[in-house]
Structure formats: C-alpha cells, structure tokens
C-alpha cells in the first residue's frame, strides 16, 4: 500500500496537473514550442555533474552519455520545431455554404490531458524524466507526471529540476511538470488508474507494459497506454548476401548485438539463415568476434540478474548448442551466442522471448520453406532486418511481404541498433513489441500519441482557437475546403 503521506502528495500533484491542463489548452503551439526550446537550452547547459552522476548510477560510459545528452537536447528542439509548424494540430476548415444549407466546420487537435510517463532504465536522459515521452506530451499540450526510475534517482532529479525551472521561468503553472520518486508498484498502479490521468507512456518489460495496459483498459474511463515492451529484432540473412560477406556480416552482427552491453530495445537477438558452408563461415567468424568483446557492467544489478536468469533458461533448452561465449564475470554482461534448428525454434516459445543483454540465437533453416514458416510464426517486432542482395529480395518476395506485417521498421542490410530521431522513424510495432502499432515513441511524430480532435461548428471567429481563425495568426498550413492553404481567409470566402 502507498503511505498516506505519499498518497496525499500524489493527489496534490495530480490536481496541479489537472489545473495546468486547463492553462495549456489556452496556449498556442508557438508558446509551447518556446517552452520546449527553453528546456533544451537548460539541459544543454547542464555541466559535468550531470554526466558523472549518470555514469555513477548506470555504469554507462561518459562518451555514450555525452551523445545521449545531445540526442535529448535534439529531441526537445526538433519536437518543438514540429509542434510550432502546426503539423500535429491538423487544422481542417470547411467553410459554410448557405446555398447548400451547409454550416461552417473547423477541426483541430488538442492535448488529451495529464500524461503519466514511466522513466526507463536503459536511457537515463533520452527515454527517462526529460526524454521523448515528456517532450512530446508537453508539445501536445499535456501536463506530465513522471514516475522516476529507481535505477538513476539523482540523474532523474537533476533533469526534473531543469524542466521545473524552465516552467517557473515562463511563469506557467508548476503542475505542467511533476516528478514522483515513489518506487513501489502500488504507486504506478494508483497513478495509472487515477481518473485524472488521460494517457500513459512506458518503456520497459513486456510484463510491466502489459500490466499497465490491462489496468488502463479496466478503468471506468479507459485510457491509452503507449507501452514499448521490446522485441527480439530478428535478422534474416539470405543466400547471396551471406555467401558474399559471411565474415563481414558476423562482425556487424556481433557489434550490434553487444553494443551498450546489449541493453538496447533494438538489439538483434535472433539471426536466421539457411544451412550450408556460408553459414558455417559466419558461425566461425561469430565465435572469433565474441572473443574480442570485453564484458562490461550492466545498468544495474537487477538487469544483470535477469540477464543471467533468462540466458541460462535459453541455454538449457533442448537442442541448443553454445557456439560462442566469454567467461562470466560477476555483475558484467558476457556475450553469448547459441545455435538451434528452425523446428526447435518454431515449437519452443522460450526461444522467441527477449533476453535483454548481449545474447543471440542463430537459427539454421533446412530450406526456404522454413524461413517462411519462421516469418509466419514471429510475433510483432520493433525491427526486422533483411540482410540481402537485390537478387535475394527478388527471389524472396513472399518472405519479404510477410515480414512487413510483423514489424514497425524493416531494414535492408545494416543493423537495427541506432534509432534516428527524425520524422520518418517508426519506433513501435505490432503487439507485443508495443501496445499500439499506429504510433512511434521516437521522432516528432511521437506527439501524435497525446492529441485528440475536436470540431467547432458555426462558431464566431473571435471565439475560435488561434489555429482555426480566419486570419491564420500562427501562419500554419491548413486544409481549407479540401485544399492546402497557408494564408488567411479573405472576407469574401467566409
């Protein structure tokens, strides 16, 4: 149970967020973008203390944290630019036609209301307190309540103070952003089920995300949960490509598999290919590459213990051969790659479960039909990679079309680690990789998760929101009578 004092504090934060939502409804996209840019400036100005604090709490290298800080700043700025453009308000105007007895209709998107964001463990900046979920929700016009991740509390507090100070500097209500450090499951459940919370954003395990989704669905007023729950991100290596570059592909695969001690949600956990001499060359090269990988500390002890537990479970399944491993070191993630056949993979569900860390499975197929069977068998994934030549793609049309149904991002060569923060990025996929495949949690389109449309019929211009007024004071692109229009509406048209 939540302690009474903590519960009272949470209630105060929720009430503040509810009041702040009414304020945000009356802000323009330009004003919210200005706040977002101010947050970006403040994060950028944070000194060495932020990096050393995060390093001490997560064991992530300072170089990685420096890059992630830059990414986080970039997220706030790019999302702010997108919000200011008006793209997510989607203004639509259908002018009155009295001769047809047709009224004036105008529609745009507004924020859903207070959003609950769960901080993630593996990205202490970009997916946590000041991460993309917080930035996109505020951009949409939604107050944010962050439930801090217990793995990096000091880092989380520094980021929270930065956002709160920016809000204060603008003279806006403090309830626009709140930071809750209570770590219990009960606190997360209470917040998710509170009637004032209108959406949830989560990055983490399947069990955690699904539990939140179920809670939110059972509410008297059900709300969306945008949960990114990970995947095995399979790589399908096709015949001609693996023949041409087995050794280079092995190097590329192990580099991606072990990047950040394998603690990325786009870690390519499964490699699938036809049996033969080319795959044998690949496997030999994989063993060599694994020996070059130095074990490193994982984000925290809980992740390390889960990695060891799930790795052991996979290794001890029937018809498994360990083809590459490093000597285990306490607290450190040691790279391991196992091999199995297609039929065992198809009929043993344990082998399709994500092992969060530097762990891979090579699945050997007897023929083309087994490749297709695996494609049909796959659950929803964040990414699927096709390692192929152009001839391979032409010769495997059925396989490629099946894979399109199974993922949010389909790669032609390359590896899936490395998620670009751009408009065309889709970081989300069919269940169970996420709870809603229509949306992304990376890139400016993340804002779409937290808006809903409202239509105004026959309202006087002076009472309409800025986005819909005749003069178009925000100078944004709108759809007017079915045509793109960036200007004001002339008197004779209204």
Q: Give me the catalytic one of 142, 182, 265, 308.
A: 265
Query: Coil, strand or helix: which one is 103?
Result: coil
Q: Give me the catalytic one of 182, 228, 252, 354.
A: 228
User: Please, are residues 360 and 332 in contact by the beta-carbon 8 Å criterion?
Assistant: no
Of 246, 201, 120, whose CA–CA distance to 449 is shortest? 201
265 is catalytic: yes
Tokens of 15: 């009430």
The dihedral sign for the CA sequence 61, 62, 65, 71:
negative
Q: Please tell me the number of Cα atoms within 13 Å of 418 on its side-chain side.
A: 10
Rounded to 5 degrees, what are φ and ψ at 183?
A: -100, -5
Of 90, 112, 111, 96, whose CA–CA distance to 468 is shortest? 90
Tokens of 413: 């060569």
Burial class for 482, CB neighbours closer than 10 Å (0-12, 13-18, 19+): exposed
C-alpha to C-alpha distance for 329 and 336, rounded to whole angstroms: 13
Rounded to 5 degrees, what are φ and ψ at 159?
A: -65, -40
CA distance to 224, 287, 431, per residue, from 209 (Å): 12, 35, 11
Tokens of 188: 């997360």
Burial class for 63, CB neighbours closer than 10 Å (0-12, 13-18, 19+): exposed
Name the packing angle between helices 48-58 and 62-85 (round to 10°). 120
Tokens of 276: 């033969």
196 is catalytic: no
DSSP string, 241-257: HHHHHHHHHHHHHHHHH
C-alpha to C-alpha distance for 74 and 60, rounded to whole angstroms: 20
Q: How far from the centroid of its chain's Cα atoms is residue 189's Cα?
A: 21
CB contact set of 464 (below 8 Å; sequence gap of 6+): 106, 456
Burial class for 272, CB neighbours closer than 10 Å (0-12, 13-18, 19+): buried
Q: Which residue has the tokens 């070191």?
A: 329
C-alpha to C-alpha distance for 387 and 157, rounded to whole angstroms: 42
C-alpha to C-alpha distance for 478 and 86, rounded to whole angstroms: 9
Q: Which residues are catalytic?
A: 228, 265
């Amino acid at each position: 149970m939540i302690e009474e004092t903590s519960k009272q504090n949470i209630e105060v934060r929720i009430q503040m967020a509810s009041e702040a939502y009414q304020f945000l409804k009356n802000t323009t996209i330009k004003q919210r973008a200005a706040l977002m840019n101010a947050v970006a400036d403040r994060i950028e100005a944070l000194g060495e203390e932020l990096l050393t604090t995060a390093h001490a709490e997560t064991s992530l290298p300072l170089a990685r944290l420096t890059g992630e800080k830059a990414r986080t700043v970039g997220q706030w700025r790019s999302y702010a630019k997108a919000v200011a453009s008006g793209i997510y308000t989607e203004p639509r105007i259908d002018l009155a036609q009295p001769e047809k007895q047709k009224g004036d209709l105008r529609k745009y998107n507004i924020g859903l209301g207070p959003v609950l964001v769960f901080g993630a463990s593996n990205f202490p900046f970009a997916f946590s307190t000041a991460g993309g979920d917080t930035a996109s929700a505020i951009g949409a016009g939604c107050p944010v309540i962050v439930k801090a991740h217990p793995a990096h509390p000091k880092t989380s507090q520094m980021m929270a103070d930065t956002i709160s100070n920016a809000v204060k500097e603008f003279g806006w209500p403090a309830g626009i952003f709140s930071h809750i450090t209570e770590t219990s499951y009960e606190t997360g459940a209470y917040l998710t089920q509170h009637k004032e919370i209108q959406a949830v954003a989560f990055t983490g395990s399947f069990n955690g995300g699904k539990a939140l989704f179920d809670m939110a669905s059972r509410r008297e007023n059900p709300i969306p949960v945008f949960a990114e729950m990970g995947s095995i991100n399979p790589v399908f290596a096709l015949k001609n490509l693996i023949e041409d570059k087995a050794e280079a592909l092995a190097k590329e695969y192990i580099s991606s598999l072990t990047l950040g001690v394998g603690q990325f949600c786009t870690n390519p956990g499964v490699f699938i290919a036809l049996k033969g001499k080319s795959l044998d060359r690949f496997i030999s090269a994989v063993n060599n590459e694994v020996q070059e990988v130095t074990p490193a500390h994982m984000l925290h002890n809980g992740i390390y213990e889960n990695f060891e537990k799930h790795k052991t479970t996979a290794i001890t399944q029937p018809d498994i051969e360990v083809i590459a491993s490093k000597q285990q070191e306490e607290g450190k993630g040691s790279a391991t790659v196992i091999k199995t056949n297609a039929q065992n993979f198809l009929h043993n569900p344990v082998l399709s479960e994500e092992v969060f860390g530097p762990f891979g499975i090579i699945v050997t197929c007897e023929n083309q039909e087994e490749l297709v069977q695996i494609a049909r068998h796959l659950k929803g994934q964040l990414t699927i990679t096709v390692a192929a030549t152009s001839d391979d793609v032409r010769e495997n049309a059925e396989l490629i079309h099946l894979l399109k149904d199974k993922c949010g991002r389909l790669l032609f060569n390359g590896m899936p680690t490395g998620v670009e923060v751009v408009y065309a990025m889709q970081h989300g996929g069919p269940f169970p990789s996420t709870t809603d495949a229509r949306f992304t949690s990376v890139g400016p389109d993340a804002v779409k998760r937290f808006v809903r449309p409202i239509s105004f019929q026959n309202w006087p211009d002076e009472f309409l929101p800025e986005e819909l007024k005749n003069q178009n004071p925000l100078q944004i692109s709108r759809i007017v009578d079915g045509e793109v229009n960036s200007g004001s509406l002339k008197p004779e048209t209204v």
